[in-house]
Structure formats: C-alpha cells, structure tokens
Amino acid sequence: MAEEVLIWQALNRALDEVMAADEDVFILGEDVGLYGGSYRVTEGLYAKYGEWRVRDTPISEDSFTGLGVGAALMGLRPVVEIMTINFALLALDAIINMAAKVPFMAGGRLPMGLTIRTPGGVAKQLAAQHSQRLEHTLMNVPGLRIVVPATPQDAYWQLKQAVLSDEPVIVLEHELLYFHKGPLDPAIPPPPPHRAVVRRPGRDLTLIAYSKMAVLAGQAAERLAAQGIEAEVIDLRSLSPIDWQTCADSVARTHRVLIVEEDCRFAGAGAEIAAGLTERCFTRLEAAPMRLAGLDMPTPYNGTLEAQTIPQVDDIVAAAHRLVKEGS
C-alpha cells in the first residue's frame, strides 16, 4: 500500500533495504554518519549499521570517490555521497578516468558496482559556485549511467537499482526536491531504471523534462489545459541512456516538442535531446524542437535575479503557446 513520504525519506528507505540485504553495501562521504547527511538521506543508518558501513570521510572528494572506485573493483557495492555536485568537480578524475573507463579498459573483467549520489541544481541563493548543474559534463562520458529521479517512488526505485547495478551510476538529486512529498509503494515492481514515463497524456505538444523541471512541466501542463492546450508531459528519469522510444512515440502523437531543462542552454542536455529527436522524428514534426533552459551565465546570489536565470512555470506556459502557434 502506498504511503506519502518525502524524497529524502524514500532514498533513506532504499539505502536501508539494500544495506540490510547485502553486507557488501556501504556508504561513505562527508557527514553521512553521525550527522545523517546534509539532507537527512543517511539518517539513522550509522546507528543501525555502524561506523564500518557508514563512514564519515575527510573533506577530500577525489580521495573518497577514488576509494569507492577501488572498493567496487574488489566486488563491493559502495554508495558515495558527494555533498553537492559542485564538489564533484574535485572528483572528476575518479569518476571519469577510473569509474567510467576501467571496466572498458579491462575488457569487462573488473566489476564497477559504484553508486554516486549527489544533490545539485539551483536551490535558494547558494550563488554561482553552489548552484551548478553538471549533467552536460557527465552525459558526455561513455560508461556512466545517470538517473534523475523527480518523485519519491522513482527515488526509491532508482537508488536501489543503482546499488544493484554492475555499472557506475550517478544519481542526480535536486536540492529542492528532497522535501517534495509523494506516494511510495515499495511493493510495486519497478520499471527499467532508464525508461522515461509519460506523466500526463496530451495531444497538442510534448513537454520533455527531468528532475525538478519535470515537476514544473506538470504544473505548466495543468495551466495549459485550462487554456485549451493539452500538453503531454514526459519525465525522462534518466539522462544516460535516454529512452528515445518513449519520446519519439509522443512526438509522433503531438508533432511538437518543448524540452525544458534547468541546466544552461548551450551544449546542455536539451541540445542532445533536440538533435536526437530531430534525427528520429523529422518528418513527424510540424515545428522545430524548442528548448527552454537556464541562461548561459553563472547563477547570481540575489533571489530575484536567480529565479530569472532558470525556467519557471510561467516561462514554460509562454513557450508552449509560442510553439503551438508556430506549428499551426
């Protein structure tokens, strides 16, 4: 039976269950033990599983991420928490040169059951160095899998699937979604971790988004419906790989696509999605794919300015109107 939980609670439950089932699963990162994690995701696990399996680390992202890589190579299933994706910049050597490439260089003979969890995105006045979205960087690394849960159910499913995977998986968690509440039913069989889902059916255009923008796209679709425009909303759930079939099937029905992302527009995920759908659905499109993205600039500290650098519900509604008008 489903219960209403917050996303951090869903992630916490997923970790608890995989740790109870497999002694090879352990957590490491800054403040994950006694403090319970910056967003409470590891709360209570230190008391339950002890210091050996919930390990507080020094402030040294490259070192403890590399330690996770080494543990994965030994057949363990480490879950590395990087306190914020902005600090992941210090761990890119371990992520890109080691986690992503060693399995290829070893001809698949070495395991890499590594999960890296990290919050990111534009939160509330964290300024330029703590508001980054780095999916554009990670998507361009062959060998990495990237999931972007936007609901408690997906957070629970996709984190468990990540830990059980034999590939390195990055779980990108949005900082403003940790206290987003929704249903969680652990008994429901999960879909494949990288399958997109249609959150709302529609006929006039397709809205493709992920993470927090998938939530905003759903809100925009409700407003558009009241204005006579039925938008189909696709939550990608995964950025590597991308479920092209679900996206292409939707475009075949609506013939227009608006891609919404919080990351910067230039060379972002939206650019890849627009190109991929143009290649696959060119004859089905009645207008060029449209992108609505963050501005190509560092995020300002001022709250009013900060909000203007990323898409809001009003922006999605306005862009949808332009797209429907262009395609008529």
Q: What is the DSSP string of 140-199?
A: TSTT-EEE---SHHHHHHHHHHHHH-SS-EEEEEETTTTT-EEEE-TTSPPPPTT--EEE
Please tell me which residue in 30, 61, 173, 306 is annotated as part of the active site. 61
Asked if 29 and 118 count as a contact pair (C-beta separation under 8 A), the reply is: no
Cα(184)–Cα(223) distance, integer angstroms: 26
Q: Which two tokens stand for residue 113?
A: 């059951």
Sign of CA dihedral 143, 79, 260, 93: negative
Based on the residue annotation, tell me whether 61 is a catalytic residue of this protein. Answer: yes
17, 43, 130, 167: the catalytic one is 130
Residues near 279 by Cβ (< 8 Å), separated by ≥ 6? none
d(C-alpha 111, C-alpha 283), whole Å: 42
> Regarding beta strands 25-29 and 77-81, do their DSSP bridges make them parallel or antiparallel, or are they unpaired?
parallel
Residues 235 and 258: their CA atoms lie apart, in Å, by 12
Q: Which residues are catalytic?
A: 61, 130
